[in-house]
Each structure stands twice: as structure tokens, then as C-alpha cells.
Chain A
Amino acid sequence: MSTSQFLVLWLTSFAFILACRVVPVVALRGRPLSPRVVEALGYIPPAAFAALVANDLLSPTMFDAGAWTGLMPLVAAGVVVLVAWRTRSMLWCCVAGVAAYVLLSLV
């Protein structure tokens, strides 16, 4: 990544996220949102996170190197779900996920 490409990526992403952070605070000082808008906004996080998880775990070539190679990240993600259920800790989920990934890749 060149410096100019980094600057384009950083400045556009920063400007967008800054608008997302600031505009609602300015616009909603004393003004409520319609229930349908609130409902739609509420579905953004699960949809975005599910899309990101699926993007990381699923690929047309995932089984090219064997069934276990394709399934292994899914099993490691399952371990993270178990840890999330038991601990509700972001830190332990990341540690357990990486540890499970490393250990399962040795199988």
C-alpha cells in the first residue's frame, strides 16, 4: 500500500465514520427518530457482523485443500461462540479464537 493509497483510504474512511459519529448527536438533540428508522438502524450491526464473519469463513475455494482445511475455521468460530456464551468477554473470545485456530491447524 503506497502512502497516497493509504491517505485516500484513511481520509475517506475517517470522514465517513466521523459523520456517522457526529451527525446523529447534532441532529437528535431534542428530536426523536421514527420507529421504522430505529428498527432499520437496529438491524445494521447484526447484518454487518454476520456479513463480515461469513466473508472470513466462506470461500469458493475453501475445500480445495481438503474437507478439514475448509471446516477448521468454522470449528474455531464455533469455539469462539462457546467462549462468548460462557464469558461474554471480547478479550477471551479473541484469545480463544486464535488459540483454537492454531491448535486445530495442527490436527
Chain B
Amino acid sequence: MQEGTKTTAREVLAAAWPVMLSYVAVGLPCGVLAAKAGMTPLMNFVLGFSFLSGGGQFMMSNLWLAGTPLFSIIASVAAISTRFALYSASLAPHLRRFGRRQSLAIACCYTEEAYGITLSRLTSGEAWTASHALGLNVCVQLTWAASCAAGAALGSVVDIPTAIAGFAMTSLFVYLLYAQPHARGTACAALGAAATVALCKWNGLGGVAVPLAALVGVAAGMASGIVPRRGSCGRPGGDGR
């Protein structure tokens, strides 16, 4: 192996190992839950390697176990997957320094954590090449897929209560929600979405609760920018974001 390649590999692993460790911890319960929903270790590996969204994978299993129709599962997973469009939109200006093929390869296989690392390295002006970004993606991608498959294999021989395995996902979502900007618009979007879920579930519309709530949440966030903040009338920058 050439010295340059070795250095790149070392730099990639230095950035990747904390993410890889956390993926093992989250991927195992994700696989256990998927096994309870009837997915084999191979299915888990294929899904984990290509889909690359822990939230979406947990959601598939949880909704399947709750008896949600397949179409509603697909719609709900699609609703939460749209956030990747936002990530790609923010990443796009920084990928211009790479070739078109390299940019597409990076965009195809990043996870949320790899996106965060690559974006911060590119914006800070560090020597982060397309090889670094792709190497990071592949490391965390393989770790995630292998952890999910191992969890599914484990889940078929060890009886881990679904509620406990599922709460790893809830914790992941709580963390991701907490990691959003702490602003009035964000709070309105979150509260609007949570209230919509409650309304839907209490009125027998649980199957469409998540995608509908995401749309209402976005509308609530946008509306919060129209309503002036108390005491901020006529003041610029009073939009709460």
C-alpha cells in the first residue's frame, strides 16, 4: 500500500471509529427488532448497506409489528427520509470541488454522522478529499450493515423484549430532535407535529399519523415566522430563527 493511501486510511479511521462504535450499539437492537418483524440477517445486511437510515429501519420494524399497512409504512419512511434531501442540498455547494462521479458516489452512501463529519471538514477547509469522504462512508456503511445483520442473527436465538429493543430507536429520535436548532420555529414545528400525532392516534388515524404530522409540523414552523415575536413588532430579525 502506498504511503499516501495509508495516511488517508489512518485519517479516515481516526474520524470513523467513534461512529462505528455507536453503530454497533444501535445496529444490534435494530437487527433484533427487524428479526421480530420477520427479516433475516441477509435482508438486514442488504437493507442496512443500501438504505442507510437507522431511523427508517427501526420505523419499518416497529410499524410492521404494530400491524400498519405496507403502504403506510412506505409513506412514513419516505416522510422521514426527505431530510436527506436537505442534507444533500447543504452538501452540494461543497462537493463542487470534486468531480461529478465522485460527488454522486459520496451523496449515494453517506449516513447522518458521516454527512456531519464530511460537511464540517469541507467547511473548515481541512484536507478532506473525495477519497476521505468515500472511505468514511464505506467504513460506517459496512459497520452499520454488519451490526444490523448480527442483531438479526442474535434476535432469532435470544428473546429480547421488543419494547426494550424499540426504545433504542426512541432514544435515537429524542437525541436527533434535541440536536435540532433551539429556536422558536423549530419548537413550533416539533409541537405541531407531536400534537398532530396525538390527534391522529386518538381519532383512529394512526396509520397516517407520522407523514401527516411532518407536513403539519413544517406548516407550523413556517407559520411561526409570520407571527411577530412579542415586543419585536417593527424590529428586524424578529422571525424567531
Chain A positions near chain B (C-beta within 8 angstroms): 1-2, 5-6, 8-10, 12-14, 16-18, 20-26, 28-30, 33, 36, 38-60, 73, 76-77, 80-81, 84-85, 88-91, 93-98, 101-102
Bound-complex Cα distance A101 to B100 (A): 46
**In the bound complex, do residue B171 and residue A98 qualify as a contact, i.e. CB atoms below 8 Å apart?**
yes
B residues 30-81 in Cβ contact with A at 8 Å = 37-39, 43, 46-47, 50-53, 55-56, 59-60, 62, 64, 70, 73-74, 77-81
Instruction: Tell me whether B2 is interfacial, beta carbon within 8 Å.
Output: no
Bound-complex Cα distance A28 to B113 (A): 22
Q: Which of B43, B73, B174, B189 contacts A97 (CB 8 A)?
A: B174
The chain A residue sitting closest to B174, CB to CB, is A80
**In the bound complex, do residue B167 and residue A101 qualify as a contact, i.e. CB atoms below 8 Å apart?**
yes
**In the bound complex, do residue B104 and residue A22 qualify as a contact, i.e. CB atoms below 8 Å apart?**
yes
Bound-complex Cα distance A23 to B107 (A): 9
A45 cross-chain contacts in B, Cβ below 8 A? 83, 86, 176, 180
B213 cross-chain contacts in A, Cβ below 8 A? 47, 50-51, 54-55
Contacts A29-B92, A39-B222; A77 near B201 (Cβ below 8 A): no
Query: In whole Å, how far is B89's beta carbon from the nearest beta carbon of chain A?
Result: 4
Main secondary structure of the interface of B (DSSP, over half): helix
B74 cross-chain contacts in A, Cβ below 8 A? 8-9, 12-13
The chain A residue sitting closest to B29, CB to CB, is A98
**In the bound complex, do residue B185 and residue A25 qualify as a contact, i.e. CB atoms below 8 Å apart?**
no
Contacts A51-B209, A90-B113; A40 near B222 (Cβ below 8 A): yes
**In the bound complex, do residue B78 and residue A13 qualify as a contact, i.e. CB atoms below 8 Å apart?**
yes
Q: Which of B18, B29, B39, B81 contacts A20 (CB 8 A)?
A: B81
Interface residues on B, range: 35 or more
Query: In whole Å, how far is A100's beta carbon from the nearest beta carbon of chain B?
Result: 9
Query: In whole Å, how far is A104's beta carbon from the nearest beta carbon of chain B?
Result: 10
6 A–B contacts, CB within 8 A, in A order: A17-B53, A24-B88, A47-B189, A76-B167, A80-B174, A84-B178
Bound-complex Cα distance A2 to B39 (A): 8
- In order of increasing CB-CB distance, the 9 nearest A-B pairs are A47-B217, A97-B171, A43-B221, A1-B38, A50-B190, A51-B213, A91-B22, A93-B175, A54-B194
B25 cross-chain contacts in A, Cβ below 8 A? 91, 94-95
Residues 82-110 of chain B: 1 if any A CB is under 8 Å from the residue's CB, otherwise 0? 11111111011101100010011001101
Query: In whole Å, how far is A84's beta carbon from the nearest beta carbon of chain B?
Result: 4
The chain A residue sitting closest to B89, CB to CB, is A24
